[in-house]
Amino acid sequence: MKATIIGDVHGKVERYKEITDNCNFSICVGDFGFEQEWRWHRKNISAGNHMINMGNHDYLPFLNDDASLENYFHFNLRSIFSVRGAESIDKHLRTEGLDWFPNEELTYQEGLAAVDAYVEAKPRIVISHDCPQSILESLFKMGWSYGKSQTRQLLQAMFEAHQPEYWFFGHHHEHRDSAINGTRFICLGELETFELEV
């Protein structure tokens, strides 16, 4: 079966629908949109076939929605593991409860649970919104300027514990594709897609 991995949507639901209409199974790496876009997804998209790994620009009150992969999720039969979250560097420009949420990153305890599940799963494919700290520094040559977010440190711990074959992420809106320590890291641009057999 083929899976289509979709980059950040940022509310561009018409283009997202064009993509999902032409594939059987998809996962968005995050930043789908806020309340209006999530309600649109409920009405227009088959949630079981087209899922969203929440980023920092998503409507967190819908974390348990049918289309959400929640804090983390393991597709056991397809060997895909997802983990949500990222830090918003623009949160000072946003409104809490509307387009910014204090739980945009996993808590320490939620992160420990995600790492435990990941180590047990040892997946072939990882989908996150942000990337491990070392990967940001390697692929974008400017990780120092972002600091070390809680999410990137969590993802770094996961990567050090197990190196999957593929690791997809978005958040940085620029395409990157590079093999590092045996893992092919692919940063998808906005609404960029990648198809692979799962």
What's the pLDDT tens digit per position in 89-115? 999 999 999 999 999 999 999 999 999
Q: What would the pLDDT profile of 126-156 be if each residue is shown by its tens digit?
A: 999 999 999 998 998 765 556 789 999 999 9
pTM given for the model:
0.96
How would residue 49 be classed by pLDDT, with cut points 50, 70 and 90?
A: very high
- Structural domains in the chain? 2-197 (3.60.21.10)
Residues in the chain: 198
Would you say residue 53 has pLDDT above 90?
yes
Q: What would the pLDDT profile of 149-178 be if each residue is shown by its tens digit?
A: 999 999 999 999 999 999 999 999 999 999
Distance between start and end Cα atoms, the chain? 6
Kindly tell me the sign of the dihedral angle through the C-alpha atoms of 60, 82, 144, 177: negative
User: What pLDDT, on a 0 to 100 scale, did the predictor assign at position 143?
Assistant: 52
- At residue 130, what are phi and psi to the nearest 5 degrees? -95, -170
Q: To 10 degrees, what angle do helices 13-20 and 35-44 make?
A: 30
SS3 34: coil
Beta bridge partners of 187: 169, 176
